[in-house]
Structure 1
Amino acid sequence: MTTSFLSMRPLRYAMLSLSVLAFAPSATAAPPSKSLKPRALVAKPTGRELAGDTLVERIVVKFHEGSRVRLRDQRLVALTSERDAAERSLLAGRNLGDARLEADVGAVASLLERAPRIGAIARLFDEPESSLEARKASGERQSGEQLADLNLYFEVPLMPGTTSERVADLVAALNALDGVEVAYAEPPPEPAMVNFGMDAAVRGLLAAADLPPTTPSYVNNQGYLNAAPNGVNAKYAWTVTGGQGQNVKVVDVEGGWRTTHEDMPTLFHMGGTQYADASWRHHGTAVLGEIVGASNAYGVTGIAHAAQAGYESIGAQSSASAISKAATAAGRGGIVLIELHSRGPADGTACTCNTSQCNYIAMEYWQANYDAIKTATANGVIVVEAAGNGSADLDASAYGGRFNRNTRDSEAIVVGGSTATTRSPMCWTNFGTRVDVHGWGERVYSMGYGNVFGSYGEDQFYTSSFSGTSSASPIVVGAAASAQGVALANGRRLTSAQMRSLLRDNGTPQAANARQIGPLPDLAKALPKVISGNY
């Protein structure tokens, strides 16, 4: 199918291209709170990791753990009297006294006044402080690991057309402050679908009337439902108690959905502000079609069609904030799908196809997104994340070890894209040891777009060619929801790390290739182990 997100890109602050700021792991970290496994820090960026003409959307600043910096009356303040013993210990471990910290808080405010901004400083995570504090505490109790205080993240929205070069010195100045853990310029994300370009016929259908003829069934065209080696054995899973995803909540994080589509189930959560752009709307609709398309006599049927689905849109909030809200909605045992990617630094890997998205990578590369994901998985939420379509080797030194599971593991399941029939990596898929499993990256039948049965209005649009790690990741989510439904039916509940191991260890191997994208999940192998508890 031919849908262009470059030509039809929605605007948040303006038409912006994408990029990611690179940092490397830090050699030191603050001492852990009590007996918790310490949280690793990242090295502060120079501000010049990206090409100077990269457009950026916001500046993100995070203060050090224990500082208890908050926004009060539009001002940043350090709530010295409210720090507990653990927070005081964290600051002492970094030799950060009250006077130094207060001076740095003032310096941050002064520096951000100089930014080419279109709004005041605000909290990055758009949830009550008390809710974020409660999830941090519960996640630390369950995981035994120190988690980030998400209330320490702040943002300033930048003027349309702002480039990385324009704010590089400002970012460097922020990172020179002892009280700042990390600061970076952040671009907006895009859906992780391969860009090809929407043809005129499909564009014309967007204004067609919604007519009522009976829609054909496309289930036989959904090859990813079929038995291994080409499919995930969803049809087998439907015969197993819980295998249709019963009692599992799934929340999709991206930009838009057609909630009135004839094959769309009733959604339990509809959060955030949607983009009005049709390209986002078709994308989100196609994603949910693969997972929860209604089981009926027409259209498509989702892999986990009995699961409860919802969405959290990034239209008026950061991706990190949307991930956090989605995790709250999904709850313990639920699943969050991150259907986004953004451009990172050049890693030296040849990019021979899909060149408009070269070096686009998984969203956990950004520290705020990583911390939101880590908080979610620590609280029992399963997170599935598109690896991205940038032809990137995530093990490359350009990424500073941010995708090295041995030192920085969010516990999310990262998904690559394969051909529909050979399980070979698509030419554009990202790859590496951090990519856990794969799904079809081409020729996916689902709802949306309208290149199939597209003459009767958007509520009856279907596609035969959804693509990218955008189409691959929902296949993995469907398999995960099926497995979690079976686990719940047997008195169990899998964590994100357990689900990752289950799907990775019980799949159909990818075709022999130097680019690792992991196996294709096989529910016929996985579900018996879920039932027996041997996972």
Structure 2
Amino acid sequence: MAMISDRSPPAEPLPADYRRRVVVKFRPGVSLPYSAAAADTLAEQQDGREWSALAAAYPGVALVPYFSSLPEAAVRDLDQRAPGTGKAATGFASYYAIETPAGAEPQRVAETVAAWPDVETAYVEAGPVPPPVNASDDPRNASQGYLDPAPAGIDARWAWLQTDGSAIGFVDLERGWTLNHEDLAAAGISIISGVSTDYHGHGTAVLGEVAAVDNTIGGVGIAPAVTARVVSQWRPGGSYNTAEAILSAVGVMAAGDVLLLEAQTSYPTAAGYVPVEVEQAVFDAIQYATSQGVVVVEAGGNGSVDLDAFQTSGGKRILNRGSPDFRDSGAIMVGAASSAAPHTRLGFSNFGSRIDCFAWGQNIDTTGDGWTGTATNTYTTSFGGTSGASPIITGAALLMQSWSVARGAGRYSPADLRTLLSNPALNTASANPAADRVGVMPDLRALITKGKRSPWWWGYVFAWAWLILVGGLLITPGGVLCIKCGRGAPGYIGDPVIFVLGAVAIGLGVAGLVNAAKAPRGP
């Protein structure tokens, strides 16, 4: 549930014709057409057993492609595009949805289908739940404290002296936006796919944190020059499909672009909302995105859930980094903390070893009303939740990518950027890391300064090179401690000692040059 002024506002009603579906993934080797004809083919392959029995028990039940708005060829091509990671192909074309008739209980259908021998997994999709809300000439900019220097904020104001988010793509995934808001319209934000349906004020608030235009009204986004787009979980035809929205976005993104998942989900074993990747299809889609080089930032969710203790219906602790069941999607997962430093985890935020970073989860000044409004000139000072924290981390990721490109070093990989942003030695710790368990908040000044070469870099290079030269003189046959003194001269200490000194000098010089070469260049 979203948080506005630290409270949970009422949820918007779902469409009257919306029904939760059963997600089915068939085992490798099961060959079905990716169309409405799949049910007939399945019945033939099963000799009329399982599917026919299900259809008899639930008249009107249908088996349809899960990624229904994507062309079949595009779905089957996804596994071919994945680089060699040592992992088996995901098999997105093995995902189907069972649409149940009115009055049927989806959970009972899922339990029946999960027992079929040719089914790998079957579960009820959680469906729509509320999103996880909780510059000097821009009049509201002074109120955007999350832009301030660490430990208060991420120090975006200093980072703007280095970069502004240009040359990097950003996509926000959620359910609705007001793209013609007065502080967003000039950004030219377009929708990739899906339908902008509900929670428009929420999406508008998220976009304002990241991409509000640097002009003379409103505030300014963390990465105001970024190329921004959006993709909706509400798909054409009225279905709700987070995994499909992810794949649709990744298909038009470049490696190094940043995809923000402004969503959370429910799960039968959890008392509160949990990250969307607990659903297998969504996990597969996120992992595919990161395998393509797309940086994914995922809201940790507002469920007050200890993710280390979370268990799937099968008893697996998939979000516990210390468990053998842990599975890593590659996403940067975000928790929420207080706006005041030292930052303390807010009670609604999920927590655990899977959380990589935290940011402000309250008192965020941004565009829109943060919830359902559609006005083009409204603002809020009370946006929050992991919905408010995740755009701050996204903005930090965008500025780091933009800075890296500007200095000619290329884009960070998803794994490298996650390592940087979650590095406890460089970033801001929470008030009590052992108790809060929400990672760290990025400090852009520390990250960028650490990434620059020292102004004395060339001096170090010459020093290491001179050490190699001296070592070469020492180990050369007839080598000497100095140009004028040699064997028999006063102070001569012997060839073996000289040789060792020369070898050590060369080794130190080579090691120094290698380390100097690894140091990143400044912008």
Instruction: Tell me the TM-score normalized by structure 2.
Output: 0.76
Residue type of the partner of 1:394?
L
Q: 2:354 aligned with 1:434, yes or no?
A: yes
Structure 2 counterpart of 1:441, one-letter code: G
The letter for the 2-side match of 1:250 is F
Q: Quick one: which of 296, 321, 334 aligns to 2:257?
A: 334
Q: What pairs up with 1:301-316 in 2 under 5 angstroms?
A: 301-316=220-235
- Using the alignment, how far apart are the partners of 1:319 and 1:117 within structure 2? 25
Give the counterpart of 1:299 among 193, 218, 225.
218
2:106 aligned partner: 167
- Supply the AA of the counterpart residue of 2:357: V
Question: Which one of the candidate residues 293, 301, 307 is aligned to 1:394?
Answer: 307
* 5+ long unaligned stretches in structure 1: 15-55, 80-99, 196-214, 348-357
Does residue 139 (structure 1) correspond to residue 82 (structure 2)? The answer is: yes
Higher alpha-carbon deviation: 481-490 or 218-227: 481-490
- Return the letter of the residue paired with 1:300: G
1:302 and 1:430, CA in 2 relative to 1: closer, same or farther beyond 3 A? same
1:336-375 alignment to 2 at 5 Å?
336-346=259-269, 358-375=271-288
**Quick one: which amino acid aligns to residue 417 of structure 2?**
M
> Which amino acid letter does the alignment assign opposite residue 153 of structure 1?
Y
Shift of 1:76: 4.1
Structure showing greater relative contact order (alpha-carbon pairs closer than 8 Å, 6 or more residues apart): 1
Match of 1:503 among 421, 427, 432: 421
Whole-angstrom distance in 1 between the partners of 2:52 and 2:451 = 52
**1:187 equivalenced with 2:126 (yes/no):** yes
Answer whether contact 1:125 1:151 (CA < 8 A) is retained.
Answer: no
Correspondence for 1:93: none
1:103 and 2:46 are equivalent in the alignment:
yes
Partner secondary structure for residue 351 of structure 2? coil
Amino acid at match of 2:81: S
Q: Does 1:420 align with 2:336?
A: no
**Which protein shows a greater Rg?**
2
Secondary structure, counterpart of 1:151 in structure 2 = helix
Query: 2:228 is matched by which residue type in structure 1?
Result: A
Secondary structure, in 3 states, of the residue corresponding to 1:271?
coil
Return the letter of the residue paired with 2:180: T
Q: Secondary structure at the match of 2:298?
A: strand
Distance 2:55 2:212 in 1: 46
Cα pair 2:182 2:376 within 8 Å, conserved:
yes
* Cα deviation, residue 333, structure 1: 1.1
Give the letter aligned to residue 65 of structure 2.
Answer: A
Counterpart of 1:232?
Answer: 154
- C-alpha contact 1:374 1:410 (8 A) present in aligned 2: yes
Q: Of 138, 145, 154, which aligns to 1:223?
A: 145
Asked if residue 176 in structure 1 is aligned to residue 119 in structure 2, the reply is no
Aligned mates of 1:441, 1:160 — CA distance in 2: 39
Distance 1:75 1:327, change over 3 A: same
What is the deviation of 1:413?
0.5
Aligned partners of 1:285 and 1:448 also within 8 Å:
yes
Structure 1 residues 116, 285: closer, same or farther in 2, change over 3 A? farther
CA distance 1:128–1:445, change in 2 (3 Å): same
Secondary structure of the structure 2 residue equivalent to 1:251? strand
Q: Distance in 2 between matches of 1:139 and 1:507?
A: 32
Residue of structure 1 in register with 2:379 after alignment: 462
Give the distance between the partners of 1:493 and 1:78, measured in 2 at CA: 45
What are the within-5 Å matches in structure 2 for residues 16-35 of structure 1? none
Contact (CA 8 Å) 1:510, 1:519: kept in 2 or not? yes
Measured in 2, the distance between the counterparts of 1:262 and 1:414 equals 30
Q: Distance in 2 between matches of 1:112 and 1:252?
A: 39
Q: Offset of 1:152 from its aligned partner?
A: 0.8
Structure 2 vs 1, CA of residues 239 and 321 (structure 1 numbering), >3 Å: closer, same or farther?
same
The reply on whether 1:324 has 2:247 as its aligned counterpart is yes
TM-score under structure 1 length normalisation = 0.74
- Give 2:26's aligned residue: 63
2:328 and 2:353 map into 1 onto residues whose CA distance is 12
Contact 1:273 1:313 in 2 (8 A): yes
State the alpha-carbon separation in 1 of the partners of residues 149 and 52 from structure 2.
Answer: 58
| CA–CA separation in structure 1 for the residues paired with 2:311 and 2:48 | 31
Aligned-pair RMSD on alpha carbons?
2.9
TM-superposed deviation, 1:183: 0.5
SS at match of 2:359: strand
Instruction: Specify whether residues 530 and 9 from structure 1 end up closer, same or farther in structure 2 by C-alpha distance, changes over 3 A only.
Output: farther
Please state how far the C-alpha of 1:61 moved relative to its aligned partner: 0.4
- In structure 2, runs of 5+ residues without a counterpart are 454-517
